[in-house]
Amino acid sequence: MGVAVLLLRALLLLAAAVAASVPAEPNRLMQIVVLVRHGDRSAMRSLPIDPHSELLDQVGPAQLLEQGVRQLFRLGVWLRRRYDNQSLLPRRFNTSTMEVRSTDTDRTLMSAQALLAGLFPGQCAGDGTSMPVCYPVPVHSKPTQTDQLLKMSSPCAAYQHRWRQFRARPNGPFKSAVREFRWLAELARNRTGWPGPDDCPIKQLWRVEDSVSSWQRMGLAMPSWVNGTVREGLAELKRRKFLWKYEEPQLHSARMGLLVARLLGGMRLRLEGKTAKVYSAHDSTVAAFLHAFQVFNGLRPPMAACIIAELYASGEFRLVYKNSTEQPAVHQLSIPFCPPPCFLPQLESEMRRRGVWAETAQAMCGGGGDLAEDSQQDEPLGAVYNFILVIVLSVSWLPLLY
């Protein structure tokens, strides 16, 4: 390409940037992207010795509970209230301005529906107290095997390799926890009857925690061995899981590169005309996302935990964390490497520099599923660039026509 053309392009980009940098209302909210964890659910599986396994057979494993539906509904109502005066969200779901995607599990698909019922009251008939009946909205999904965007357990060999290395570190946090919680592993193995000798007691304890906390959520009786100390130990181990699995840059880059690239790249392109996106996913997705922005608070994302990324007309990017559907509090998150006011171009270049971008995810996880789609799309500024070039070419040809 000739130098003249390059110069022309640069000049035009500059002109476009200047034009774009003086928006009429810099504080106007342009887009929101919502990432949410599903609500209360039943246990993932029964324990070998499980006082409530019959009930779990009835409810089904890993199913959204009724109170989980209500949590997401309340969150949707809250989102509507927060953004109602921004003319961002129409009263009814509109497919040309909005998009919803969920992982391919019953609980996240149902959570998305419950959230949307709260968000679009115009879609629903009801008296506002009981569950409304709603006109359906489309929710997109991909099978776990190809869901590189939202499902943290989708295939990624390099991630698995690093995670195994992390666990194997002789005096690393994982091995220390094995020693620290040996008493709990021995107790739980005896009372829940999982097969020994244990290859990985911590993983087994995570499973026990899953059952115990689901009994608690469902208001079921605790077996006598589950006293306060045992419950605290289980919760502490689960808390650490979300620290360990995504804290290291290589680990969260592999799993979050694509979502971050789609989020920021999409915002740069004004979400292709969309004003709102909703992603319905899991505690692991929320935790990895918070790690990628270095704003993880050390706690397991609770049920219905919700992150909102907001883009303002000035180009300012803000992150909000709502981690309780009972408490009104929301937390404004300050990104350490892009402190407020954080503008989109700076954030994007920081993320690229840190390797939290689609290329890293692609290199680490292989090019399957969602990653394959993105390799065709992700040319930095490409779309905008060519668009400007076309306009300019047509403008510069005009005089010749006369």
Ligand X SMILES: *[C@@H]1O[C@H](CO)[C@@H](O)[C@H](O)[C@H]1NC(C)=O
Question: What CA–CA distance (Å, rounded) separates 100 from 32?
Answer: 12
Name the minimum Å distance from CB 109 to ligand X: 24
- Range in contact with ligand X (rule: CB under 6 A) among 38-46, 100-108, 187-195, 371-379: 187-195
* CB-nearer residue toward ligand X: 338 or 365: 338
* CB-nearer residue toward ligand X: 142 or 240: 240
Count of other CB atoms within 10 angstroms of residue 146: 17
Name the minimum Å distance from CB 13 to ligand X: 28
Contacts of 356 (CB under 8 A, 6+ apart): 249, 252, 253, 256, 257, 260, 292
- How much is the CA Rg of the chain, to the nearest whole Å? 24
Q: Which of 94, 123, 144, 213 binds ligand X (CB under 6 A)?
A: 94
Residue nearest to ligand X (CB): 297
Closest CA to 266 of 333, 311, 314, 332: 311
Question: What CA–CA distance (Å, rounded) separates 5 from 273?
Answer: 29
Name the minimum Å distance from CB 129 to ligand X: 25
* CB-nearer residue toward ligand X: 8 or 235: 235
Q: Does 97 bind ligand X (CB under 6 A)?
A: yes
* CB-nearer residue toward ligand X: 181 or 317: 181
Q: Does 123 bind ligand X (CB under 6 A)?
A: no
Total residues contacting ligand X by CB under 6 A comes to: 19
Say if strands 133-134 and 124-125 run parallel, antiparallel, or are unpaired: antiparallel
- Range in contact with ligand X (rule: CB under 6 A) among 108-116, 138-146, 186-194, 197-205: 186-194
- Window 226-245: contact mask with ligand X (x via CB under 6 A): -xxxx---------------
Question: What CA–CA distance (Å, rounded) separates 102 from 93?
Answer: 16
Is residue 75 within 8 A of residue 308, CB to CB? The reply is no
Contacts of 52 (CB under 8 A, 6+ apart): 211, 215, 218, 220
Count of other CB atoms within 10 angstroms of residue 71: 27
Place of tokens 């909000």: 320
- Window 37-76: contact mask with ligand X (x via CB under 6 A): ----------------------------------------
Q: Does 85 bind ligand X (CB under 6 A)?
A: yes
Q: 37 has which bridge partners?
A: 281
- Range in contact with ligand X (rule: CB under 6 A) among 1-9, 50-58, 223-231, 309-317: 223-231
Q: Does 216 bind ligand X (CB under 6 A)?
A: no
Of 287-346, binders to ligand X (CB under 6 A) are 297, 299, 302, 323-324, 331
Q: Does 187 bind ligand X (CB under 6 A)?
A: yes
| 152, amino acid identity | M
Name the minimum Å distance from CB 399 to ligand X: 35
**Helix then strand then coil, % of the chain, to nearest 5:** 55, 15, 35
User: Roughly what angle, to the nearest 10 degrees, separates helices 201-217 and 182-192?
Assistant: 60
- Range in contact with ligand X (rule: CB under 6 A) among 92-100, 128-136, 173-181, 204-212: 92-100
* CB-nearer residue toward ligand X: 251 or 287: 287
Dihedral sign computed on CA atoms, order 203, 205, 209, 210? positive
Burial class (CB in 10 A: 0-12, 13-18, 19+), 162: middle
* CB-nearer residue toward ligand X: 91 or 169: 91
* CB-nearer residue toward ligand X: 90 or 355: 90
Q: Does 396 bind ligand X (CB under 6 A)?
A: no
Name the minimum Å distance from CB 148 to ligand X: 27
Question: What CA–CA distance (Å, rounded) separates 139 from 34?
Answer: 14
Q: Does 86 bind ligand X (CB under 6 A)?
A: yes
Q: List residues near ligand X by CB under 6 A.
A: 85-86, 90, 94, 96-97, 187, 190, 193, 227-230, 297, 299, 302, 323-324, 331
